[in-house]
């Protein structure tokens, strides 16, 4: 009922520590705008009507939405009352986080966030590393993306609120990766020279994605490669030819033109320089 709403000014009486910093909070616009109904304004917009809470002189059990007592699904439903229209959160109910009961309040601190953006509970990298310890280790590899150095963040590539199925890697992996240009890998937001379209495509790049050759978080190998020696990476696909020389554009390991025992032939990209795609040569020579 509308009469059960007392207004955010009443909350200030007991919760002054929250109230006097609330003007810095993006949720404050619900008060500043003055156009929202009581159920979407200020404190009661998230916590529900406070009349019973005030009459009882406090207590978590007297407020409809005491987040510390709520089940994960209820927390998510409460936040989505306002945030459901955000396209970036459109797939949040099917995201890996939500399915694992990781919801808004696990990552966000609404009242006392120590970060300047997004009301995060911690610095973004520390927040993600809290669960993804294996990724923390990968970012300590000799070759890695510069996340720890602050050059980029996890959310430059990932959508923690849930991304739609990718159009590469048979829509199987990677998980929760945001897309560039609507349907392409996030890698192309920075590595635009690899985007194409090319007259001669390297099929794995377009179909399987960058991670078929690269380890995106970090690798002991130069250029984030999955293998330490270039030719061993290439031979995972180009692993021999039939009598017509057509199998996977394959090569025989000990032919006169590709003697894999000769170091001269062990760096495939010395000759095949346009390995991500070429506009002039089907063998990616130029």
Q: What is the pTM of this model?
A: 0.84
Confidence (pLDDT) at 105: 94
| DSSP-H helix ranges across the chain | 8-11, 16-22, 29-32, 42-47, 51-55, 72-83, 96-99, 104-107, 124-129, 133-138, 203-207, 230-234
Of 248 and 50, which is predicted with more confidence?
50
Confidence check: pLDDT of 224 > 90: yes
State the average pLDDT for the chain. Answer: 87
Task: Name the 3-class secondary structure at 185.
Answer: strand
pLDDT band for position 248 (50/70/90)?
Answer: low
Task: Name the 3-class secondary structure at 204.
Answer: helix
Confidence check: pLDDT of 246 > 50: no
Confidence check: pLDDT of 251 > 70: no
Confidence (pLDDT) at 252: 64
Confidence (pLDDT) at 73: 94
pLDDT band for position 244 (50/70/90)?
Answer: very low
For 165, which DSSP code?
P
Confidence (pLDDT) at 195: 87
* CA neighbor of 198 nearest in space, from 250, 142, 274, 138: 274
Of 234 and 173, which is predicted with more confidence?
234
Domain ranges of the chain: 2-68, 196-278
Confidence (pLDDT) at 69: 93
Structure tokens at 38: 């009581």
């Amino acid at each position: 009922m509308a009469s059960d709403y007392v207004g955010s000014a009443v909350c200030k009486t007991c919760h002054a520590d929250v109230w006097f910093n609330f003007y810095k909070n993006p949720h404050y616009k619900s008060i500043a705008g003055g156009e929202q109904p009581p159920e979407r304004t200020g404190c009661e917009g998230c916590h529900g009507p406070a009349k019973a809470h005030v009459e009882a002189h406090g207590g978590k059990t007297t407020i409809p939405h005491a987040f510390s007592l709520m089940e994960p699904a209820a927390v998510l439903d409460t936040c989505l009352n306002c945030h459901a229209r955000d396209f970036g959160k459109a797939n949040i109910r099917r995201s890996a986080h939500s399915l694992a009961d990781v919801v808004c309040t696990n990552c966000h601190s609404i009242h006392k966030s120590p970060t300047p953006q997004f009301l995060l509970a911690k610095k973004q990298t520390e927040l993600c590393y809290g669960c993804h310890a294996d990724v923390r280790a990968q970012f300590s590899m000799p070759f890695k993306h510069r996340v720890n150095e602050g050059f980029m963040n996890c959310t430059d590539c990932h959508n923690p609120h849930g991304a739609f199925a990718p159009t590469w890697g048979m829509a199987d992996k990677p998980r929760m990766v945001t897309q560039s240009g609507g349907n392409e890998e996030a890698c192309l937001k920075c590595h635009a020279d690899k985007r194409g379209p090319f007259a001669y495509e390297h099929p794995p790049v377009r179909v399987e994605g960058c991670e078929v050759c690269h380890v995106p978080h970090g690798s002991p190998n130069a250029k984030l490669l999955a293998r330490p020696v270039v030719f061993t990476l290439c031979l995972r696909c180009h692993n021999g030819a039939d009598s017509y020389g057509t199998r996977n554009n394959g090569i025989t390991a000990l032919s006169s033109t590709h003697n894999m025992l000769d170091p001269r032939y062990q760096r495939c990209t010395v000759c095949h320089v346009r390995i991500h795609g070429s506009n002039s040569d089907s063998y990616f020579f130029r």
